Amino acid sequence: MRNVDTHPQGTVSNRPTVIVDAHHHLWQLQDTHYPWLQDEYDPQAFFMGDYAALRRDFMPGDYRLRMQGQPIAATVHIEAERARPDALLETEWLHRIHQQAGFPNAVVAHADFADADLASALRKQAAFPLVRGIRCKPRTAADPNGSVRGQPGTLHDEQWLQGLALLPQHGLSWDLRVPFWHLAEAADAISLIPGLTVILNHAGLPWDRSERGLAAWRKGMEALARHDLVHVKLSEFGLRDTPWDPVQNARIIRDTIDIFGWQRCVFASNLPVAGLRVDMPTLIDTVCHAIAHLPATAQAAIWHDNALRLYRINTPVAAHIWEHS
């Protein structure tokens, strides 16, 4: 591991003393089924390109190794696209992992918004003590010029949106994951559902870093930010077939904070996927530099306070996860 006190932008002086990781995954491939990892390997379709390195177990010990030396106090597990009939089994497994390892401390599970039996599935997921929200990805176009209008499972599908609207009734938030060209459509969908808390994954995935692409991304982010209950994760700034750029990525972080305000931004690692492009000391250094202009209270909110509140985590922040056996 490199010297974490060196960085292309200079020495890090505002290193966090407590971190809540608001987005990561765990999986164990033996005796389970993750289609995208085990039998549908397609580097051309994956947003980061070749992901062969992910096709192995990623367990609490692996997470601790990646985060070695970082003051992680709590984590949020996001559903990892286990075979969809096994959504409840994934939640059960994560609760066993929590008992053994002390984390994750909150779970965002999966449920299909188009399922005729969705209400029952949401009741069962919400009955687990760590479940805080649901991630069900809408069908999206492959690029900004494509369209999926009229197709089932999109942000325009009335049945799918009716399912999404059930989340507030069960005290559940929605983890939203779409590429930047669907952000404005997501904002329109959210406007139809009062009381829905939304956490946008991966800073809206600004994959086109041209000035034109970033302008389109900002427009979509601004549309979402007009909804007070929409929050955003400062995570996954890696690009396909492109080395990590700490200066460019710090710009994305600052723009996101300018649009949403620090009160609605949370740090997240997206491990192990983010590890395809960046190690965790470098990621954390990049965020440190991006938020160095903010007051200490705002920085603390981004690193931990906002996530603790948003995901209703009661874990004492002094108890780092690797203190557990």
pLDDT tens column, 17-34: 999 999 999 999 999 999
What's the CATH class of domain 19-323? alpha beta
pLDDT band at 315 (very low <50, low <70, confident <90, very high): confident
pLDDT at 6: 40
DSSP 216: H
**Residue 2 above 60 pLDDT?**
no
Domain boundaries of the chain, sorted by first residue: 19-323
In the structure encoding, which two tokens stand for residue 17, read together?
Answer: 């003393």
The vertex-314 CA angle with 198 and 113, nearest 5°, equals: 30
**What was the pLDDT predicted at 3?**
31
Residue 307: count other Cβ atoms within 10 Å of its Cβ. Answer: 30
Strand partners, 107: 77, 131
* 114-150 tens-digit pLDDT: 999 999 999 999 999 999 999 999 999 999 999 999 9
In this prediction, residue 13 has a pLDDT band, given cuts at 50, 70 and 90, of confident
Residue 295 has pLDDT above 70, yes or no: yes
DSSP state of 139: P
State how far the Cα of 91 lies from the Cα of 102, in Å rounded to an integer. 15
Length of the chain: 325
Query: Which of 175, 180, 227 minimizes the C-alpha distance to 203?
Result: 180
